[in-house]
Amino acid sequence: MKAYLVGGAVRDTLLNLPVRERDWVVLGETPEAMLQKGFTKVGKDFPVFLHPETKDEYALARTERKTTHGYKGFAVCATPDVSLAEDLLRRDLTINAMAMLDNGEIIDPYGGQEDLKNRVFRHISPAFCEDPVRVLRIARFCARYQHLGFHIAPETQKLMQNMVKQGEIDHLVPDRVWAETTKALSEQSPSAYFQALRDCSALARIFPEIDALFGVPQTAIYHPEIDTGIHTLMVLDQAALLSNKTTIRFAALTHDLGKALTPVTNWPSHHGHETLGLSALTALCTRLRVPNNYQKLAQQVMQYHTHSHRAFELKASTLCATLVSLNAFKADNHLNDFLLACEADAKGRLGFENSAYPQAHYILAAQKAGADIDSSTVLSGNLQGKEIGIAINRLRTAEISKIKAQFTKN
């Protein structure tokens, strides 16, 4: 069986990066022959098989022909006479269209090694524009490889812009958009994903709520970067430095959506943006079918991030109420995640990148004090219903007041 290592495994090997997965292309075989060799068929739309031992993916060499809009609108030909060069030609970028033999020899018919050397994302053929997912993939590669100095070739950038203008990008399905987005959020430079989409005008079509933030001014004394869109991407990258959780990064990305909805006459002030943006967040999450755990944390961060920033100024009763709203006194709370997103917001400002965020320590201490109260006297008394909750909150507030005194004194 003629099998060649292809795609990302070859690319990352040449970049001296860890190989995340190993994909192979097989020449001269049929699906029946692969099954007889012990492979397991897994591809629904394409002839893809799992190796019986390594579980690597082995795909029969194939060509594709566009039949209709969208990334599934292709007719596939996977006959034994399809050549390696023909299979590689159907791929998106030159750096993803190389194959490797067992002895390390590279088969590179489309100049992938040269583009890899020059840190260029370049499409292989005009067929690139037939699949809208490729716009997302290039943007995701920007998030993964920005630190290595990669950039999009001008002719590829123009092709991406034309795909947006001609409406091909509008045929992306929500599940695929979210799948690519979560991958991008997990990369080293997630802001590069959204910047790449904005550069080709796709951000306004896919994430209009985020695109609307660019050009919205903020008060310079608090936000020297001024532009809310720029601030948002700075916050996202700060979140990436603080945590590898994509839920936190998504919350950081969406925390200021309300600033695009504040009246222009109020700019650069954005009073009430914390609640004003909730409808936009819901619309985004509904449209892209964002999982509930992402949406829940994003809602908390959006609604209460300014409470976190002003924690030392809050009354003990207000802080207690905020912690209750954040479900911070429940065992399955996500207070740490909330605080990391808030810290990213505080640091995602020009000149504030290395600032401390003592509010997090204070809020965690307040949460612990409130959680450690002895509520036995309340529960064993004659109080009922809401009265029990009020009494417990009174006890929590008293303990939080002590913590506040300690922190403000120091």
Give me the domains of the chain, ranges plus CATH numbers.
1-117 (3.30.460.10), 119-200 (1.10.110.30), 207-360 (1.10.3210), 368-409 (no CATH)
- Residue range 333-351, pLDDT digits in tens: 999 999 999 999 999 999 9
Contact 73, 84 (CB under 8 A): no
Q: What is the pLDDT of residue 20?
A: 85
Q: Residue 226, by phi and psi: left (phi above 0), alpha (psi -120 to 50) or beta?
A: left
Residues 6+ positions from 146 with CB-CB distance below 8 Å: 188, 189, 192
Mean pLDDT calculated for residue range 154-171: 96
Is pLDDT above 60 for 261? yes
Q: Where is pLDDT greater, at 383 or 178?
A: 178
Q: What is the pLDDT of residues 109-123, one digit of tens each?
A: 999 999 999 999 999
| pLDDT at residue 374 greater than cutoff 90 | no
Q: Are 122 and 94 in contact (CB under 8 A)?
A: yes
Mean pLDDT along residues 8-21: 93
Mean pLDDT of the residues in the chain:
93
Query: What pLDDT score does 383 carry?
Result: 66
Confidence (pLDDT) at 285: 98
pLDDT at 184 over 80: yes
Q: What is the pLDDT of residue 12?
A: 95
Percent of the chain's residues with pLDDT above 70? 95
For residues 91 and 95, what is the distance between their CA atoms, to the nearest angstrom? Answer: 10
CA 193 to CA 353: how far, in whole Å?
Answer: 21
Single pTM value for the model: 0.91
Q: State both tokens at 111.
A: 């100049």
What is the Cα–Cα distance from 278 to 39, expressed in whole angstroms? Answer: 49
At 380 the pLDDT is 66
Question: pLDDT per residue over 60-118, tens digit each?
Answer: 988 876 656 555 555 777 788 889 999 999 889 999 999 999 888 999 999 999 999 99
pLDDT digit string, tens, across residues 286-303: 999 999 999 999 999 999
